[in-house]
Structure 1
Amino acid sequence: MNGEMIEAKTRHVDWSEVDVDTFVRLCEFAYFRNYTPPSFRLIEGRTPLEATKAIKKKVQRKSRRSNVIRDSPTAEPEPEPAPETPEPLDEAPPPEGTECNDPEIIYKERSVWTGQLRDKFTRTLVIPGTESNPLETTFTAPEITGSWEDFHPVFLEQAKLYVLADKYGIEPLRQLVLCKLYQTLSSFKLFDTGVGSIMEFIRFVYSNTPPNYGGRVDALRNLVTRYVVSVIGRIGENQCFQELLEDGGPFVADFWRIIWSVDESPRSQ
C-alpha cells in the first residue's frame, strides 16, 4: 500500500485470484503478526464410527470362515465354538484417536539407504529465520488422529498464503507459513486416505512457486520435496505418488536431486 509497487502507485489492486480465507489470514497477520491455520475436514464414510463398523465386519467375516464345517452324512453337530476373547468390537466404539484408528502406513526399509532418506526432512532441513522465531516454541501443530481426517485444507490453504507472501515480498509471513507447515508435516501420521492430499498439495506448490534459478530452489518446493523423500518407504508403491512421478516436470528433477545427494556409501553396497 505504501511501497514502490505498481498497486501503491495506481491505488488499485486486482486480487481476483485470492480467495476470501487467504485474504482474512493476511489481514490477521497484518494486525497480530500471526494467523490461524485452517482446520482439517472429515472424509465421507470414514468417521470413527464407520471405521469401527468396517473393522467389526472384517473380524466377523474372518470368524465365519474359520467356523465353517464340511457337511458329512455321519458328522454329528458340534457345539458352537465360544467367541474369541477379547471382543472389543462388540462394545461401544472407542473415542477418536484410539483403537478404531486404521493402522498408520508402515515404513518399508528397502535398504540402509532408505533409512537415510527419512533424515532428509527432520534433520537436514533448515527453515530460514525460524531459529529466532518465537513461534517455534508457541505453535502447536494440529495432529491427525485417524484415516477419517483430511488434512488437504491444512496444507493447501497455507500454501496459498505462502504464494501471496512470496509474490509481494512479505518475508516474515513467508517464513511463518514455512515454519507452521514444517512443524505440521514433522508430526503428520500418514494414512492411505491422506496420500492423495499430499500429492495435490505438491502439485499446487510446483504450479504456483517460482522455478529454480541459479541453483536456488524455492523454500516451499524444497520443504515438500524433502518431505516426500523422507516418506518414500511408505508411499513408493502408492498409485497417487506414481501418477505424480508420471507427470514429470521440476518436481521429479528436485526429487531425484535430493535422493542423489544422500551419502554415496550406501549406494556402493
Structure 2
Amino acid sequence: MSPTAVDFPDVLGLLSDAAVTKHLSRSIQSGQEIPPRAALSRAAVMLPENETRWSVGPVRALVDEAMKRFEDSRARADAWLAPRLHATLRMTRAEAADSRLWNYLAMLVAPDYVVWRHGTSGLTRAARFSGSHFLQAFARLWWAAELFRDGADYQPVTSAFAYQDVVNSVMRLDVIDHRPTAAAIIRIVERLASEQVKNASDQINALSRAVNTAGSTLIFDVLAPDEPADNDALRDWIADSEHVPEVPWDRLPDGPADGTVARDSVDALVSLFEVLLAEAPRRDRSKKANDDSAEVSTTAH
C-alpha cells in the first residue's frame, strides 16, 4: 500500500469501532488492500468543514514526511511525529478521548502509515487501527505528546520515545494523568538513556509496575502538588489553529502555554521513584519476541 494509493478526504470525521471491525480485513492489515472508502465514508460522521484544525491535508503531509524520513528506522518516526501531530490536531483531552477520530484517521486518512509503522510481522494488529490510546497508531502519538509535554515544551515528548516501553507500559498507568508523575518518569528515562544503561527497557517496565503499585497506596498529588492547567491558554491555542502556519519539520513546534510542571514536585517524585526502581524486581525480557519488542529501536540509540 503506497501513499498515492490512498484517496484521502479533505476533512476529518468520526468512525465507530463497529465500522472498523466490520471492514478491517486481513488483506488491509497486511497492506495488500486499502480500506473500502465508500462504505466507511457512509458510516462516518464528518467534523465541521469550517474549522481549520480538522483539515486532513496537514496531517497527511506529516505522515508522508515521516514515512520518507524514517524508512530505514521506522520506530524513530514516533519521536518526530508525536509533537507535530499534537500541534497540528489542536483539541481538548475530551475531544481526543473519542476513539472514533483515531479510527477515521487510521482507516480513511492514513491506513498506509499504520501498516508501514506497525506491520513489522507481516500482519498489523487490529488494535493499531482501532484500539486503546496506548496502542492505536495515532492516538498513542497524540496522547504521548499530551501527557509528557511540559506546557509549550515538547522536548520531554521526544525523550518519552527513547524507549518504546514508555509508551507501551507507562502510558497504561492511571496515575500518568498527574503531570509531575509523568515528568518524573521522563527524568528517569533521560538518565537511563544518558548513562546508556543496559536492559533499560526492563528497568522502565519495573519502574512502571512499582509506580503503579505505589500509586494505589500513596497520593502523588499530595506528595507532589500540581497547579491546574490554564484552560484559557489551551482554548486560545486551539483557536489559533485558524491562522497559524503548518508545524515546522526541522524544529519542535510550540504547544499550548497552559502552564509548566512544578519543579519541586518533580524533584520530590524523582527521588521517590529512584528508590522504587532500585528496589523493584526485574523481569528478563531478553528472549521476548513480539511486535512491541521489535519496535524497541529508538531515538536514544
Structure with the largest fraction of helix: 2
How high is the TM-score relative to the length of structure 2? Answer: 0.25
Larger Rg: 1
